[in-house]
Amino acid sequence: MNNVIRTFPTVIVAVVALASAVVCAGCGRPSARGTALRPSQVHDFAQLFQQNCVGCHGAEGKLGPAPPLNDSLFLTIAPPNELRRVINEGRHGTMMPAFAREQGGPLTPLQVEVLVEGMLRWNRVVPDAAALPTYLALPEQYPAPPDHAAGEKLFAAHCGECHGVRGEGGSGGALRVPAFLALVSDQALRRIVITGRPDLGMPNYCDRARNDGDLQPLTSGEINAIVALLARWREEAQTAPAAAQAMR
Ligand code: HEC
Ligand code: HEC
């Protein structure tokens, strides 16, 4: 997988196929004692994760089509409340579904808690959390309107080598791809820039600074500027057909 354009449709198909598999998984499985355990009575992390999440996030929370969850840097920066909220409510406009019963999903509050705690136990390293960029974008770090010129410079310096200086593609694939950007939230983009994709060979926010004296680790504000640029590419793609229509 080295080209987002090429791999994304496959990802979507995989996600849809696996999502439907998830819906029917685990109904009426016999328990250890041989009596059927109702889905709402399952409180084992491995089983809950297997039945509800692996289809998209991968076995062990890695290498699925959706962002890896079994990633220590991610688990260090993500506030447990946000994990809870995303599982309960899903991410609007993306493939991440709402799992809370009150949102029409299958899981009880206790089951969501088991999932959050189980994921947090995957965290193996505890880096110096105070020095890390924040998982959520802090509004005070956003210049309004966003500084796209700064975003473009940062992108070229920190991402260009693998994704092309304008996102047009390289060894890490193209990012200026409407079909990709339309399905990924700004929050997920921010998170990917911070944690990288160690499973796929993408460096995290500070890996490259370690090897290149000219680069500093990306700060929270710089990450915002890069995400704002990707968000603008997404908007441009969405408004381009409308603009073409209006010109006729
Ligand atoms: C050293 C190379 C390298 C650099 C530098 C790099 N990336 Fe990546 N990136 C990758 C690779 C490899 C992948 C995985 C591509 C694949 O196999 O789908 C990737 C994937 C991604 C993805 C898609 C992730 C997903 O879960 O599907 C995004 C978004 C992304 N990169 C953004 C960025 C941004 C923004 C920067 C700069 C801050 C950056 N990358 C810097 C190599 C790199
Ligand atoms: C149908 C596919 C699908 C299923 C099933 C699914 N997810 Fe997700 N999940 C996604 C996608 C796609 C994203 C990234 C959404 C975005 O762009 O913000 C995501 C994001 C997340 C995030 C936030 C990650 C981040 O980078 O900020 C968490 C936490 C999460 N999912 C947990 C779970 C858990 C726990 C389960 C099982 C109960 C689950 N997901 C099941 C597709 C799925």
Low-confidence ranges of the chain (pLDDT < 50): 1-31, 247-248
First to last CA, the chain: 39
State pLDDT tens for residues 229-246: 999 999 998 876 655 555
Q: What is the pLDDT of residue 17?
A: 46
Q: What is the pLDDT of residue 165?
A: 97
Q: What are phi and psi of 26, to 5 degrees?
A: 80, 5
The ligand minimizing its distance to the Cα of 185 is 2
Residue 225's identity, in one-letter code, is: A
Whether residue 135 contacts residue 78, with contact meaning beta carbons closer than 8 Å, is answered with: yes
The answer for residues whose C-beta is within 8 angstroms of residue 187's C-beta and 6 or more apart is: 91, 136, 137
The ligand minimizing its distance to the Cα of 6 is 1
State pLDDT tens for residues 79-98: 999 999 999 999 999 999 99
Atom index in ligand 2 nearest the CA of residue 18 equals: 1
Whether residue 15 contacts residue 56, with contact meaning beta carbons closer than 8 Å, is answered with: yes
Atom index in ligand 1 nearest the CA of residue 7 equals: 18
Interatomic CA distance for residues 175 and 190, integer angstroms: 14
